[in-house]
Structure 1
Amino acid sequence: MAAWAIPATLGVLVLMMMLRLPIALAILASSAGGLAMIAGPSVVMGVLESAPVSAVSNYEFVTVPLFLLMAEFVIASGVADGIFAAAAAWVGRVRGGLAIATALAGAGFAAICHSSTASAATLSSTSIPAMLKAKYEPKLAYGVVSISGTLGMLIPPSVALVLYGLIADVNIGKLFIAAVIPSVLVAITIVLTIVVMVWLHPDIAPPSRSHSWREKWQSLQVALPVTLLFLSVVGFIYTGVCTPTEASAIGAFGALLICVAMRRMTWEKAIQAAYRAARTTCMILLIVMAAHVFAYFLVLTHVTEALVLWAKSLSIPSWGILVMLYAMYLILGCLLELSAMLVLTIPVVLPMIVALGYDPIWFGIVVILLGELGMVIPPVGLNVFIVARVTGAKVNEVYASIWPHVYAHLVAVAILTIWPALVLWLPGTMK
């Protein structure tokens, strides 16, 4: 029966996804159907009764609504304009400086916002008009905004990292710290890609005006509080002063104080921020619950054990299997959202990765980085559609602008694969 249940369950899952059913419900319904085929309705009811409790019983799940609330307060404060203005004041004079400022602003905003789509939308409305006004090539502007928005998935404290930690059952605090150096590497990769593009084609990015030292220091008035908030949250986790859950509460409260200090907070904005955070939290909770049910199905069908034995029986080195998995994640990233990709693959793939001797924390960072590419690669490329919608540009034109950044990101993935210590060294020094 298990042999028939696996293709039947996957077939139902694909059909539901093609019908655009919410991914959590699609996974939940198909997994429950598969369990019913294998073990009967009584087992399904028992799993469905225990799955919600298992999903929320993890204390670290509290970080999800609090970090989301932190992001909503930051968005309400309107600091995105200030972050871009500060970056432009310091590097804008360099040829291509506004594009570099966009990458830096994207990193700064992503550190607090955690949402790739929100980052892309915000950067599209702030930095693209500034670059077009300065006579930048539109493709350069569209590409850097699309790829910079994806940093929200990787830079801690990222909700994507929390979701991976909950599904893979790894320490979320160590995941956050492990993502610090890769985040810096990716930000540098984006900047270097811009530098190379401008060096090869100087006409695509004319130099902007210089700023006085007074203007530069004044520009930091908005960016500095947000930077200090990010450093405080990550620093508290790294030093062991706070758990991720406690740090998320500090971050949400700090973002609220910033919003109040900037006189941007109203009761209406506070209620809307709480509502959006609660709605996204419920969505993530359903995804985690679906992941638990899917995991039960995998255990009963022995899929993970069979995959581990298959991987060990192959006459290719472990890095060859990694390359195959990378290719799989790039294809899935083109078709699925990151949350769906994590739920469907991590319970299956992670035991094989561990059996091959790789660290689950390192693998999580690499998977999130590959998921970033899925946000800009067709046919899904959600960030591309957001940039096109906000700017009024053609989708094909925006897609054509992202390929230099995609190739550069693949180089970053290769660097992290060859030197995994770039991921694992910092969490290894945690107290």
Structure 2
Amino acid sequence: MELYTLSLILVAVLFVCLALGLWVGFALMAVGLVAMVLAAPAPPGPVFATKVWGALNIWDLTALPMFIWMGELLFRSRLSSDMFKGLAPFTRRLPGGLLHVNIIGCALFAAVSGSSAATTATVGRMSLPELKKRGYDDRMAIGTLAGSGTFGFLIPPSIILIVYGAATEQSIARLFLAGVLPGLMLAALFAGYVMLWATLNKHRMPPLEPAASWREKLQGAMLLLPTVGLIVAVIGSIYGGLASPTEAAVVGVVGAMVISWASGGLTRAGVWGSVQGAAVTTCMIAFILAGAAFLTGAMGYTGIPRALAAWIGEQGLSQYALLAALLLFFIVLGFFLDGISIVVLTTSVILPMVLAAGIDPIWFGVFLVLVVEMSQITPPVGFNLFVLQSITGREIFTIAAYALPFFLILVLATVILTVFPEIALWLPSTMMSR
């Protein structure tokens, strides 16, 4: 069978499975099975068993459930309330005022959670009622939260970077380092846009609140101390050479329990709920990884990835042209699939092309995560949109319209990262070479 015809059949099978509501992991397995039956000389059963075992029997993946559990514990604590009270004295006099709490709060929670949806929900449940009470514009309050909630994918410890590292056999510690500066750059771009918008739309901003006293700032700093301490303990232990990502995840879970207990939010029901939430999320990701591993093996037998890589080489596309095409491709996928599904579904096909074009796989991981962040705020399946719909009661497409400026800033961030790849590569090359 010709590769072109086979490719069309496999794409059709995938979309039919997804349209029927089949879980993404099982849809990937179905596509892999069809590919094996149509084009592979090997029996599907042994290939399935070997590939799935190899994909899930990876030590670095043990960090995944621990980081998810850490986020679940903090989600049930009073961390978001303390973060709002702690950040308010430092942001209320900035152009944009307390809107910056959404941005900085999401960046801080992302650094101890790793989950985009958890970041959006945790910060949103505290900040949105407070911003509404103070008279802030609903469009900007919801839009900044929708955009900033995507930090959970990029700022380490990022769950999706762990998935990418496991799928592509890249160093998770290097990927975490590579995500730091792009994450800070993205937060700075969001803050800059909020300042510009507030300056140009003063009539839509509430009156300036009085400047915070040194006493209020000190009290705020004390409320932020547990969060900052947990970030230092988790991230610092990895980069200081004291712990592997998996061991640092355990440190994070213990720290999250201590913070939840100290804030009065640790109950038996809360701990059990956090375990259940972490188990469900981990199993969902494991099914997707298993399906993607089988599909990757099947695609290897079909020869489609090699043919695509050779075709790209024959076109003579520059790196910029290839990345521009991939950017559009991932944006379209983001309308239909969640971020983790996009990563595991595409890496087996895309990575050979990327490597053939001479693109660094660590840098590409950050580029991919930046693009995947857009899928969180694009309808109809953007997870952050669903989270905000449950909090605000607004219609999904309305929330997506509020988030549109931040979607465009994400596109700008990918362009900046492409032109200046050192933003992602400088920290790993500096710290990991010591």
> By the TM > 0.5 criterion, same fold?
yes
Contact 1:6 1:34 in 2 (8 A): no
Contact 1:2 1:38 in 2 (8 A): no
Instruction: Name whichever of 310-319 and 53-62 sits farther off.
Output: 310-319
Name the structure 2 match of 1:89. 89
Structure 1 residues 6 and 400, CA, compared in 2 at 3 Å: closer, same or farther? Answer: closer
Q: Provide the C-alpha distance between the structure 1 equivalents of 2:122 and 2:246, rounded to a whole number of angstroms.
A: 27
Cα offset, 1:111, TM superposition: 1.3
Tell me the alpha carbon deviations over residues 291-330 of structure 1, each in whole angstroms, 9 at most, x when there is no partner: 1101111111111111111111114322111111111111
Name the structure 2 match of 1:212. 213
Cα offset, 1:178, TM superposition: 0.7
Cα offset, 1:171, TM superposition: 0.7
Name the structure 2 match of 1:244. 245
Name the structure 2 match of 1:392. 393
Structure 1 residues 82 and 10, CA, compared in 2 at 3 Å: closer, same or farther? Answer: same
Q: Provide the C-alpha distance between the structure 2 equivalents of 1:124 and 1:263, rounded to a whole number of angstroms.
A: 20
Cα offset, 1:74, TM superposition: 1.3
Contact 1:54 1:289 in 2 (8 A): no
Tell me the alpha carbon deviations over residues 335-367 of structure 1, each in whole angstroms, 9 at most, x when there is no partner: 211111112211111111111111011011011
Counterpart of 1:335 in 2: which secondary structure?
Answer: coil
Q: Provide the C-alpha distance between the structure 2 equivalents of 1:21 and 1:419, rounded to a whole number of angstroms.
A: 40
Counterpart of 1:77 in 2: which secondary structure?
Answer: coil
In the alignment, is residue 303 of structure 1 matched against residue 304 of structure 2?
yes
Q: Provide the C-alpha distance between the structure 1 equivalents of 2:56 and 2:297, rounded to a whole number of angstroms.
A: 17
Counterpart amino acid of 2:314? S
Counterpart amino acid of 2:198? V
Q: CA-atom RMSD, angstroms?
A: 1.6
Cα offset, 1:39, TM superposition: 2.9
Q: Provide the C-alpha distance between the structure 1 equivalents of 2:390 and 2:203, rounded to a whole number of angstroms.
A: 26
Counterpart amino acid of 2:410? H
Q: Provide the C-alpha distance between the structure 2 equivalents of 1:397 and 1:289, rounded to a whole number of angstroms.
A: 36
Name the structure 2 match of 1:321. 322
Contact 2:40 2:302 in 1 (8 A): no
Contact 2:113 2:152 in 1 (8 A): yes
In the alignment, is residue 53 of structure 1 matched against residue 21 of structure 2?
no
What is the correspondence of 1:332-343 to structure 2 with a 5 Å cutoff? 332-343=333-344
Counterpart of 2:209 in 1: which secondary structure?
Answer: coil
Tell me the alpha carbon deviations over residues 344-400 of structure 1, each in whole angstroms, 9 at most, x when there is no partner: 211111111111111011011011111111111233333123213311223333222
Structure 1 residues 105 and 205, CA, compared in 2 at 3 Å: closer, same or farther? Answer: same
In the alignment, is residue 372 of structure 1 matched against residue 373 of structure 2?
yes
Cα offset, 1:100, TM superposition: 0.9
Instruction: Name whichever of 178-187 and 334-343 sits farther off.
Output: 334-343
Counterpart of 2:359 in 1: which secondary structure?
Answer: coil
Name the structure 1 match of 2:98. 98
Name the structure 2 match of 1:408. 409
Counterpart amino acid of 1:388? Q
What is the correspondence of 1:350-365 to structure 2 with a 5 Å cutoff? 350-365=351-366
Instruction: Name whichever of 279-288 and 158-167 sits farther off.
Output: 279-288
Q: Provide the C-alpha distance between the structure 1 equivalents of 2:266 and 2:135, rounded to a whole number of angstroms.
A: 36
Name the structure 2 match of 1:144. 144
Tell me the alpha carbon deviations over residues 187-208 of structure 1, each in whole angstroms, 9 at most, x when there is no partner: 1111011011112211222223
Q: Provide the C-alpha distance between the structure 1 equivalents of 2:322 and 2:90, rounded to a whole number of angstroms.
A: 44
- Runs of 4+ deviating beyond 6 Å: none
Contact 1:166 1:288 in 2 (8 A): no
Name the structure 2 match of 1:312. 313
What is the correspondence of 1:194-213 to structure 2 with a 5 Å cutoff? 194-206=194-206, 207-213=208-214
What is the correspondence of 1:5-24 to structure 2 with a 5 Å cutoff? 5-24=6-25
Instruction: Name whichever of 376-385 and 244-253 sits farther off.
Output: 376-385
Name the structure 1 match of 2:193. 193
Instruction: Name whichever of 190-199 and 115-124 sits farther off.
Output: 115-124
Contact 1:336 1:380 in 2 (8 A): yes
Counterpart of 1:316 in 2: which secondary structure?
Answer: coil
Name the structure 2 match of 1:73. 73
Counterpart amino acid of 1:330? I
Contact 2:110 2:155 in 1 (8 A): yes
Q: Provide the C-alpha distance between the structure 1 equivalents of 2:191 and 2:334, rounded to a whole number of angstroms.
A: 23
Structure 1 residues 335 and 208, CA, compared in 2 at 3 Å: closer, same or farther? Answer: farther
Cα offset, 1:102, TM superposition: 1.3
Counterpart amino acid of 1:263? G
Cα offset, 1:261, TM superposition: 2.2
Counterpart amino acid of 2:164? Y
Counterpart amino acid of 1:402? A
Contact 1:334 1:375 in 2 (8 A): no
Contact 1:153 1:368 in 2 (8 A): yes
Cα offset, 1:2, TM superposition: 6.0
Contact 1:125 1:391 in 2 (8 A): no
Cα offset, 1:94, TM superposition: 2.6
Counterpart of 1:225 in 2: which secondary structure?
Answer: helix
The unaligned stretches of length 5 or more in structure 2 are: none
Contact 1:179 1:365 in 2 (8 A): yes
Counterpart of 2:170 in 1: which secondary structure?
Answer: coil
Q: Provide the C-alpha distance between the structure 2 equivalents of 1:111 and 1:168, rounded to a whole number of angstroms.
A: 23
Contact 1:6 1:301 in 2 (8 A): no
TM-score by length of structure 1 reads 0.96
Instruction: Name whichever of 102-111 and 315-324 sits farther off.
Output: 315-324
Counterpart of 1:272 in 2: which secondary structure?
Answer: helix
Counterpart of 1:226 in 2: which secondary structure?
Answer: helix
Counterpart of 2:217 in 1: which secondary structure?
Answer: helix
Counterpart amino acid of 2:172? I
Q: Provide the C-alpha distance between the structure 1 equivalents of 2:241 and 2:317, rounded to a whole number of angstroms.
A: 41
TM-score by length of structure 2 reads 0.95
Contact 1:139 1:397 in 2 (8 A): no
Name the structure 1 match of 2:130. 130
Q: Provide the C-alpha distance between the structure 2 equivalents of 1:98 and 1:36, rounded to a whole number of angstroms.
A: 58
Name the structure 2 match of 1:157. 157
The unaligned stretches of length 5 or more in structure 1 are: none
Cα offset, 1:35, TM superposition: 0.9
Counterpart amino acid of 1:190? F
Tell me the alpha carbon deviations over residues 238-278 of structure 1, each in whole angstroms, 9 at most, x when there is no partner: 22221111111111111112122223212222122112111
